[in-house]
Structure 1
């Protein structure tokens, strides 16, 4: 009987020992305590994140393969800015610069999928569409479309197992991307079908569990959406890599909006809560993609202001700051962006507005009047659609919108 108990205890201890080696939970507590006892620039959460996660699962969540060869299909050009013509402020926040763009305030959730490479891209693209049109167009670009349909982006053919961020931007230019909201939103053409989950501690969502399968590529919009998949496509005029000089990155963000960046994630990054992150302890877990929206200085420490895709429970409500100017964790090495091509959507939008305006004035039941003088004096109504479009594009050229 004694031998049976001893053998059972040995087996129990052996298997639990194996589990503890792969489980991040005990390390999470140690790392959080260690960071909070240091005199450093950031604080770890008081309730350690990812306690129930195994290392294997965490590594698969990091969807950027930093050591993988870049695509040979495209020759991505590097964008440079004339620094003599640009006066960079000490602080800049895209949310404050363009408050009329709602996607700048948003924190998305990639769920149990290594799709960060897709999220960083579509988040920046959504912002730039709004910024480039001064708020006239607001398009929530679909992570689902990029994740599921860009075969060339995926590292091993499956987007949830990771992807290349340069290929994501090239796909945006060559194939276009439709709209789509977050999980359960029923927004846009193709909403994200992978549900939110708790990346951190027990919260309002279910635990993430294992990495899910990549969704199948769909080329038909949701039935409730009244635009076809083809007509909902948004394209880029130009996509490019941004030079890794911090001032070049700043110039790009200040003029055109957020960019996508890749960084190496270490164990301590998972425990980030506030302050300016610097890697202090722990092993590398893989490459991750985020969106950079600005910069600043906190207690004499320069930082980048960035957005993660682990929902708003992580970090500073989904946002975080990381050391700027020293390529911390490689964050200044791989920066990608592009110029949106919005002419087709703007033309359609203005055409629809013209029709609505005409119908409103012409309908006596709606207006309870038939004032010929008002219609004759309304220059907007008297423009034919053809002349209106010509005038629209002429103004675009004059303002260097192209």
Structure 2
């Protein structure tokens, strides 16, 4: 009898898993997009059995993030970048090549089974800008875990958050150091383990959820006091959706954070310049823009962007997306700040 109940349970679980699988990860959907795509290539980043609920959970920017706006840059700084003209802007720019003494710019972080992009993207940009602002002296990886677990007004931890509130938190409360999962870097390294997107079994299975707990303590092996380890912003602000203003900001102060509206076809991006072609909206997602350029003989304009789904997603964790028409809202919600040195 127990054996029969077990097999019925197993059958039910299998049925629910199959029916929860995302149709947009199917070979048929990918082939449909592939026939339309002219500027980008598709590939399998996620195993087709991964649930739609899990994938939607990776889009960790809360739908009400517009309620937490940052003031405009010129309002905060009382100045503009008029000294940089259109003629001064290069055709191609890559922050990784401009600031080679700042290794964080080239790093791709991994959310794991957690909708933490709102914390990961912000702290990644903050880390880049701290290094850039200190001329490469402060390679201080700000802790995504500290932001994710301790910023109560920033949202709902792994269930989504507000990037604007996260930037304000850096200025008001500060953040301690902390590298990736298992890195043993800094006061509070990330504690959510990377999971197995591809289905090859080398990591734990990706499941919905992920939990964190706020602690005002550093790892026992880290010998700096929690409060003394904190770093603060001097200013935080938003940048208008004018492409030239975004380019000036990146070239002057470093990478910026953007909010991307993710559609179903984006999940299978591999190389080239992404342009949405097929599928429904999955959700808003925080990412980090590092630069720009043009692609191919047709000189398709693009932004160079870092994602937070690990280096086995997309183009080693990065992607290019069409630049100049606020495609998928990539230019609509740009945020940044300057560190207190």
Contact 2:101 2:136 in 1 (8 A): yes
SS of alignment partner, residue 206 of structure 1:
coil
Change (3 A) 1:105 1:48: closer
- In 2, the alpha carbon distance for the partners of 1:289 and 1:39 equals 24
Name the counterpart of 1:276: 273
Contact 1:244 1:334 in 2 (8 A): yes
- In 2, the alpha carbon distance for the partners of 1:226 and 1:48 equals 39
SS of alignment partner, residue 264 of structure 1:
strand
Change (3 A) 1:36 1:26: closer
Please say which structure displays the higher CA radius of gyration: 1
> Higher helix share goes to which structure?
1
Runs of 4+ in 1 over 4 A off after TM superposition: 18-21
- In 2, the alpha carbon distance for the partners of 1:153 and 1:229 equals 20
SS of alignment partner, residue 152 of structure 1:
helix
SS of alignment partner, residue 153 of structure 2:
coil
Name the counterpart of 2:27: 29
RMSD: 2.2
Encode CA deviations 1:246-284: one digit per residue, 9 max, x unaligned.
Answer: 111111000000011101111100000000001110111
Encode CA deviations 1:106-133: one digit per residue, 9 max, x unaligned.
Answer: 1110100000000000000001011011
Query: Is 1:152 the counterpart of 2:136 in the alignment?
Result: no
Say how many residue pairs are matched.
324
- In 2, the alpha carbon distance for the partners of 1:142 and 1:68 equals 21
Of 160, 164, 167, the residue aligned with 2:165 is 167
Q: How does 1:185-224 map to 2 (within 5 A)?
A: 185-202=183-200, 204-213=202-211, 215-224=212-221
TM-score with structure 1 length normalisation? 0.76
Name the counterpart of 2:72: 78
Q: By how many angstroms is 1:61 displaced? A: 1.4
- In 2, the alpha carbon distance for the partners of 1:270 and 1:314 equals 9
Change (3 A) 1:132 1:202: same
Name the counterpart of 1:308: 307
Name the counterpart of 2:113: 112
Contact 2:45 2:197 in 1 (8 A): no
Q: By how many angstroms is 1:37 displaced? A: 2.3
Q: By how many angstroms is 1:212 displaced? A: 1.4
Contact 1:291 1:308 in 2 (8 A): yes
Name the counterpart of 1:259: 256
What 5-or-longer segments of structure 1 have no aligned partner? 1-11, 343-402
- In 1, the alpha carbon distance for the partners of 2:285 and 2:278 equals 18
Q: By how many angstroms is 1:48 displaced? A: 5.4
Q: Which structure has more RCO (C-alpha within 8 Å, separation ≥ 6)? A: 2
Encode CA deviations 1:143-190: one digit per residue, 9 max, x unaligned.
Answer: 000000001001xxx310000000000000000000001111111000
Q: By how many angstroms is 1:79 displaced? A: 1.6
Encode CA deviations 1:34-71: one digit per residue, 9 max, x unaligned.
Answer: 232234110001x3524121111111111012344413
Change (3 A) 1:206 1:298: same
Name the counterpart of 2:102: 101
More moved, 83-92 vs 225-234: 83-92
- In 2, the alpha carbon distance for the partners of 1:309 and 1:68 equals 19
- In 2, the alpha carbon distance for the partners of 1:107 and 1:170 equals 24
Contact 2:70 2:236 in 1 (8 A): yes
SS of alignment partner, residue 168 of structure 2:
helix
SS of alignment partner, residue 270 of structure 1:
helix
Change (3 A) 1:326 1:203: farther
